[in-house]
Structure 1
Amino acid sequence: MLPVPLRRSGNPLHLRVRVWRGRVGLGLVASLSVLAGMTDAIGFLATGDFVSFMSGNTTRMAVAIGEGDMSMAIRLVFAVLAFIAGNALGVLLGRLSGRRALPLLLVIAGLLCTAALLPFDTRVPALLAAILAMGMLNAAVEQVNGLPVGLTYVTGALSRFGRGLGRWMLGERHSGWRVQLVPWTGMLLGAVMGALLEAHFGLKAMLFSAGFATVLGLLSLKIPRRWQRDYMPR
C-alpha cells in the first residue's frame, strides 16, 4: 500500500508505476553492483590492481610516485585514464543505442571476455580491458526515480547513507537514503563471489563476469524502454 501522502499528491496509477519503476531500477542496480564487485575482486587478486576502485588506484599511484616506482605509477595512470574513457564511451554508446542497456552490456561482456582470454603475461592489457568495461558499466544506470546511484564505487553511496542517517537522527524524515545500501551490498556479495572464482580459475574467472553481463543484458529486454531511458544518462 502506498503511503497516504503520496495518494494525495498525484494520480494513484502514476504513483504505482513510479514505485515499480523504482523497484525494478534498484534490482538492476543491485545486479550490476554484484557484477562490478565480482570483476573488481577478480582483477585485484589476479593482477594486483583495482579494476573499478579508482580512489584506491589514485592513492597507490601517488605512493608509487613518492617512492620513485615510476613503472607502477605509469601503469596506474593508464588505469585511471581507461576508467575515464570507459565512462565516456558508455555514455556515447548509450546515446547511440537509444539508451538501451543490452548493447552496452554486450560490449562490456566482450571486453571482459578479452580480459579473460589474453595470455597472463599480457596482464596489463587485460587489466585495461576490464577497467574500460567497468567504466562503461556506470552508464547502465545513473539514477533511479531521481536518486543518484553508483555501480562501480560505493564511497559516495556510504556517504549519502551516513548523511541520511544523521538527518534521520535529527528527526528529518526524507526518503531515499536507505536505498544507498543497495549498491554497497551488491558490490560486497559480488566481491565475495569473485574472490572464490578467482581462487579456482585465476584471471579466466572474468568469463563468469562476461556471462553475467550477458545475462543481465538479456534480462534488461524485459524492462520497459521508457524506464531504461530514465535510468541511463541523458
Structure 2
Amino acid sequence: MLPSSPNRAHTPGLLHVQKWRGRIGMCLVASLSVLAGMTDAIGFMATGDFVSFMSGNTTRLAVAISDGDLGMTLRLLVLVAMFIAGNALGIVVSRMGGRRALPLMMCVATLLCGAAAWPFEAKYPALLAAIIAMGMLNAAVEQVNGFPVGLTYVTGALSRFGRGLGRWLLGERRNGWRVQLIPWTGMFAGAIIGAVLEHRLGLQALYASGLLAGVLGLVSLKIPRRWQLGYMPR
C-alpha cells in the first residue's frame, strides 16, 4: 500500500491526488537510491572508502582510533565531515533554487562527473567530491506523504520496515511500512550496477552516476511544483 499522510480528512479527490503523489514520490526515491547505490559501490571499489555509507566509515574511524592509526583517523574524519558539509550544502542549494530538484541534481551531476574526470593517480580529491555529492543528494527527497525516507543510507529504512513487520504480526494495520523496502531495493540494485561498471571503467564509472543524476534532474521538471515542495526538506 502506498503511503498517505495520517490524521487528515480524506475526500475522493484528495485520496486520488495523494495516491499519485505517493507513487511518483516513491518512484523518485527508488531512482535516487539506485544513484546512491551505484556511486557508493563505484567509490568503495575504486578507493576502498564508502561514499554514502557513513555508518561504515564511522565504525572504521573508531577502529582506526583504537589502532592508533593517525593517518587513517584523519582521512576518515575528513570523509565524515565532507558528508555533513554536503548535506548542509544541499539544503543551501535547494533553498537558493526555490526548492526545486533540478538545480540540486545538476550540482550533484557536476560533482560526480568532475570526480570521474579527475586525471591524477591520487583519487582522494575525487572521493571527496563524490561524498559531497551524496550528502547533497539527501536534500532531494526527505519524505513522501508524511513518511520519512532515506536516499543514501538504508539502515533506517530496514529498521522502520522491521518495526512495521512486528506491528503487523501483532495485528496492527498501519500504512507505510512496506514502502521502506523501496529505497533498500533501489540501493541494492544500484550497487550491483555500480560494481559491474567499476570493474570495466574504474573510477570513470562515476560518469554513469553523473549522467543518471542529470537525467533525474530533468525528469523532476515533470513533477508538479507543489509535490516537489512536499518531498524536499523545508
* Shared fold (TM-score, shorter chain, > 0.5): yes
Shift of 1:70: 1.2
For 1:61 and 1:186, locate their aligned partners in 2 and report how far apart those are by CA, in whole Å.
Answer: 27
Shift of residue 9 of structure 1? 4.4
SS at match of 2:152: coil
State the AA in 2 paired with 1:233. P
CA distance in 2, matches of 1:73, 1:93: 30
CA offset digits 1:198-221 (Å, max 9, x no partner): 000000000000000000000000
Aligned residue for 1:115? 115
Cα deviation for residue 125 of structure 1 reads 0.6
Q: Identify the residue that residue 200 of structure 2 maps to in structure 1.
A: 200
Q: Could you tell me the TM-score, scaled by structure 2's length?
A: 0.96
Q: Hey, what does 2:64 align to over in structure 1?
A: 64
Matches within 5 A, 1:83-122: 83-122=83-122
**Cα distance in 2, alignment partners of residues 229 and 34 from structure 1:** 22
Note the residue ranges of structure 2 that are not aligned, 5 or more in a row: none
CA distance in 2, matches of 1:48, 1:27: 30
Q: Please give the residue correspondences for 1:5-154 in structure 2 after superposition, counting only pairs within 5 Å.
A: 9-154=9-154
Distance 2:113 2:75 in 1: 21
Q: TM-score, normalised by structure 1?
A: 0.96
Report the equivalent of 2:179.
179
Question: How far is 1:69 from its partner?
Answer: 1.5
Q: Secondary structure at the match of 2:150?
A: coil
**Paired AA for residue 75 in structure 1:** R
Does 1:232 find its partner at 2:232?
yes
Instruction: Write the letter of the residue equivalent to 1:42.
Output: I
Q: SS at the partner of 2:122?
A: helix
Shift of 1:122: 2.6
CA distance in 1, matches of 2:118, 2:197: 18
How far did residue 120 of structure 1 move? Answer: 4.3
Aligned match of 1:212: 212
CA distance in 1, matches of 2:79, 2:123: 12
Deviations 1:86-113 (A, max 9, x none): 0001011111111100000000000001
Cα shift readout 1:124-167 (whole Å, capped 9, x = no counterpart): 11110000000000000000000000000000000000000000
Q: Mind listing any 5+ residue stretches in structure 1 that lack a counterpart?
A: none
Structure with the higher fraction of residues in helix conformation: 1
**SS of 2:112's equivalent?**
helix
Distance 1:9 1:137 in 2: 33
1:10, 1:153 → 2: CA distance? 32
Distance in 1 (alpha carbons) for counterparts of 2:120 and 2:160: 39
Q: CA RMSD in A?
A: 1.4
How many residue pairs match? The answer is: 229
How far apart are the structure 1 equivalents of 2:179 and 2:206?
28
Q: Residue 121 of structure 1: CA displacement?
A: 2.0
SS at match of 1:121: coil
Letter in 1 for 2:61: M
For the residues of structure 1 that align with 2:223 and 2:189, how far apart are their CA atoms? Answer: 24
Which one-letter code corresponds to 1:55 in the other structure?
S
Q: List 4+ stretches of structure 1 deviating above 3 A.
A: none
Deviates more, 1:69-78 or 1:199-208: 69-78
> 3-state SS of the aligned residue for 2:123?
helix
